[in-house]
Amino acid sequence: MTNPVVNDECIPTSKIDAVVGCLAGNSVDNNSVDNFAKTFLKDLFNEAIQFAKPSSFMGEFVKTHFPENLEGKIIVVGAGKAAASMAAAFENAAFERGWNDRISGVVVTRYGYEVPTSRIKVLKANHPVPDEASVEAGETILAELKTVGPDDLVISLVSGGGSALLCAPASGVSLADKQQLNKVLLNSGAPIHAMNCIRKHVSKIKGGRLARAAMPARIISLLMSDIPGDDVSSIASGPTVSDESTLEMARNFVAKYKMDLPASILEALNDPRNETPKESDRCFKNAQNHLVMTPGMVLQKVMGTIKKAGFEILYLGDALEGEASELGKAHAELAVQAARDNRKLCILSGGETTVTMKGKGRGGRNTEYLLSVALSLNGESGVYALAGDTDGVDGSEDNAGAIIDPTTLKRAEASGINLKHHLDLNDSYTAFEALNDLVVTGPTMTNVNDFRAILVLPQHDTQKY
């Protein structure tokens, strides 16, 4: 298994013990404080990604949740940034059970996130805005489910990103209109549950409709959460989960966030035929949904490493939402207070913030958050931070996130980079690119939302580093 590349340098997980030893108080040259602190943050991020990969958990899940003598055909369908790696891991687990000849199916993932599989076909499509391949994937999966019978088992592999990758527009809605909808949603500042509510009501596959398409077979969904709160009905817009949101709620979100949408989308949201199936619908009688990996599981995993390094942990939760820049200010205030109190602290959090676009710059929610943190810290000594998306892509850029240290503002000023101006333009990527502080992993083949860690190093302890 390869390790993510961070700033063009591969950081192996085994290196973390040496870094932990230094941060726990072992002797090291004073000039190495920055290197050790930043390496520790990168290694924590790497550990989170490795733990969240389907190959690390799928085998054990299949072993403990599926009987060995499973009968009938096994048809695998799925969508998301981790769908291909989930399919490969499920295949490996199934082959160990001797189910080789009974597995077939198709999943769709983002371009660049495909991995080799033997029996399950992997399709590729665009994210975050769907393309023709997304529509073809939706049609292919719906056609695959038309072949199932009452004795068959459908395995649905779902992870974040499935909303765009698995596209089956409601009647009267074109691909161009769905593309425009996605662009409007991404720039609206609306929280993820509001976006998903609207998406579900203009689709033939989201909001529980995949479960309806799988009838009369039994369907078991294995879900990797990238959603604050792990609401299974929101992961990839809940294709196999009953939906309690309504068309009226979708229309209210459109009005609240002042969304300028195509006429066909507005018509679909007023068409009673596009209401989603509710819990009482018979399509859910033979449907099960299992969370196999969540942001909380990942953050709990890295807490052990943080404690081993001798840090207190201020855990803010795995479901934080809100405007990225505002969250950055709030977290910076916590870090400044901890620094003034001379604490050895790690502020840890996850979730999915939003960015309301006011400028036309480049960047994602993690770099916007960090730019706000850096400006609010104003060069506070001993404070370091990393924020990144575990799928390897922050927004639509080629980085997972970025990293800051106490010299970020000074280095920016020395290079003529106005960080406040970049924040105002939503141009955080450009700022961190110029500072050479982007965190670049490439496709990670997993997706459990954002990882944020702020280290506060007590100044009287710096001689230990």
pLDDT in tens, 60-100: 999 999 988 888 899 999 999 999 999 999 999 999 999 98
Better-predicted residue by pLDDT, 196 or 372: 372
| pLDDT value, residue 335 | 98
**Percentage, residues of the chain above pLDDT 90:** 83
pLDDT in tens, 325-367: 999 999 999 999 999 999 999 999 999 999 988 898 999 999 9
The reply to whether the predicted model has a pTM over 0.85 is: yes
Which region among 112-121, 189-198, 287-296, 454-463 has the lowest average model confidence (pLDDT)? Answer: 454-463
Q: Compute the distance between CA of residue 363 and CA of residue 295 in angstroms, rounded to an integer.
A: 22
Kindly state the greatest CA–CA separation across the chain: 69
pLDDT in tens, 15-27: 555 555 555 554 4
3-state secondary structure of 84: helix
pLDDT in tens, 157-169: 999 999 999 999 9
Q: Which CATH class is domain 5-52+296-464?
A: alpha beta
| pLDDT value, residue 281 | 96
At the fourth CATH level, the homologous superfamily of domain 54-168+203-242+277-293 is Glycerate kinase, MOFRL-like N-terminal domain (3.40.50.10180)
Q: Compute the distance between CA of residue 90 and CA of residue 77 in angstroms, rounded to an integer.
A: 11
| pLDDT value, residue 191 | 86
Starting at the edge strand that comes first in sequence, how are the strands of the sheet with 345-351 ordered?
312-315, 345-351, 450-456, 383-389, 401-404, 438-439
Write down the domain spans for the chain. 5-52+296-464, 54-168+203-242+277-293
Q: Place 460 in a pLDDT band, splitting at 50, 70 and 90.
A: low
Q: Compute the distance between CA of residue 84 and CA of residue 428 in angstroms, rounded to an integer.
A: 31
pLDDT in tens, 214-252: 999 999 999 999 988 999 999 999 999 999 999 999 999
Main-chain phi, psi angles of 261, to 5 degrees: -110, 155
Q: Compute the distance between CA of residue 366 and CA of residue 395 in angstroms, rounded to an integer.
A: 8
For 187-204, what is the mean pLDDT? 92
| pLDDT value, residue 21 | 55
Q: Compute the distance between CA of residue 281 and CA of residue 52 in angstroms, rounded to an integer.
A: 33
Q: Is the pLDDT of residue 7 over 90?
A: no
pLDDT in tens, 403-435: 999 999 999 999 999 999 999 999 999 999 999
Amino acid identity, residue 417? I
pLDDT, mean over the chain: 91
For 173-189, what is the mean pLDDT? 92
Q: Compute the distance between CA of residue 73 and CA of residue 357 in angstroms, rounded to an integer.
A: 48
**Percentage, residues of the chain above pLDDT 70:** 92
